[in-house]
Amino acid sequence: MVTTILLLLFFLLTPILLIYLCRISKTINKIGVVVLAYAVGLLIGNLLILPNASENYKIELGTDASIPKTEIQNLYDKGDVSSADLIVNQIKGLQDSVMSVAILLAIPLMLFSLDLKRWLKFARGAMLSLILAMVSLLTVIVLGYFLFKNVIPEPSKVAGMLIGVYTGGTPNLAAIGTALDVTPNTFILTHTYDMAIGALTLIFILTVAQRVFNYILPTFNENHKHILKEDISKEAKSMDDFTEMITRKGIPQLLLAFAISIIIVAVAIGLSMIVPEDFKMVTIILSITTLGLLASLVKKINRIKKSFQLGMYLIIVFSLIVASMGDILAMFQLDYIYLFAFVALAVIGSMVIHVGLSFLFKVDADSTIITITALTYSPPFVPVVASAIKNKEVIISGLTVGIIGYAFGNYLGIFIAYFLERL
């Protein structure tokens, strides 16, 4: 019991420390709080800080997060598992519970602050670039699925997660992984490879991408410049700003947002009761996404400050926990080289195809770069890249694309996973 309480406090408080470290250190902030959460989780889960499970327990566990209490007790009474396995199972049960609650509550919280009407009004100019990006991504994901489906674990689920991470970043990846019941190891390896390849790609985007793309694509169209609004730039930069959450005015507002999120999750769970068992989690994820978007249309909810950041805090909790369940040694096993190749194809292949399509449809280099950024790295990176390419006028189109991708990536990722599974 004491172990469970201490571990729960660790999972809930460590993200606050990581957020604080990112705030006070520009160097640490460049790494990113999600990456730090994964690193800490991997260390905790792989440095023998948590008790080790016996081989018998691993066999009995299979792909489940934990074994039901009565079942594990029966196995212990028979001598099939050890007393240490009882603690391991208790920890796994806690990890699974907190992880599931965190992601379910995070999704609506992150959607509340989106002004869909406003973003869609600015979306017209970004629609072509978004369509080209989605065609590029779907092409390489389907190609990668058929290339690697016999050599990687859970290939259709990995395909669905890659659709998610390259339309909405970590939140969509986490949501789709939960909806499809992806094993922790497959999840953490997919996201770890994504972060490694994505880091190299981001360096390219921030440094020489504009010069390279300008050899192939038109330069930025001057007609876009009248769209820029200064408040959009400020709003983008504030998306990862966790300051002023714990204030006299802020706490009641966040409690209200949290309560609404709980109600949405409760309704979604209720709706899942009327569908077959295999579709329960999918129904929950899609229901909370839909209800979260509808709630964002209510002005009182939409104007709650820092609801996005509260949701992001829960995503960091999720990241920390799921990383603590991963096997870091598996990253260096030859068996997973094909999973790495699938992720690399998704990142690099989709970019190459996207640039080719932009050439055919005469989309300028800056719009192409910002679309890739918004979908691959999520909206908070948009102003960073816009500044690097010295063109803040693309911020609105980038945010529009990123938010549309974030809002609807869950639907597309889950659909693609089920579609490929049935081919």
Give the pLDDT confidence of 169-184 residue by residue, as tens digits.
777 888 888 888 888 7
Element (DSSP H or E) covering residue 212: helix 209-214
- CA 291/CA 218 separation, integer angstroms: 40
pLDDT at 166 over 70: yes
The pLDDT assigned to 334 comes to 60
Model confidence, pTM: 0.71
Q: Where residue 280 falls among pLDDT bands split at 50, 70, 90?
A: confident
Q: What is the pLDDT of residues 291-306, one digit of tens each?
A: 988 998 898 998 888 8
Contact 375, 224 (CB under 8 A): no
Please provide the average confidence, as pLDDT, over all residues in the chain: 82
The pLDDT assigned to 65 comes to 62
- Kindly state the tokens that stand for 314: 């829960």
Q: Which residue has the higher pLDDT, 259 or 409?
A: 259
Q: What is the DSSP letter of 245?
A: -
- CA 408/CA 138 separation, integer angstroms: 14
Cβ neighbours around 10 below 10 Å, total:
15
The pLDDT assigned to 222 comes to 46
Q: What is the pLDDT of residues 376-405, one digit of tens each?
A: 887 767 777 887 787 766 777 787 787 788
- Kindly state the tokens that stand for 338: 């094909």
pLDDT at 221 over 70: no
Q: Which residue has the higher pLDDT, 139 or 240?
A: 139
Nearest to 163 by CA among 205, 188, 135: 135
pLDDT at 167 over 80: yes
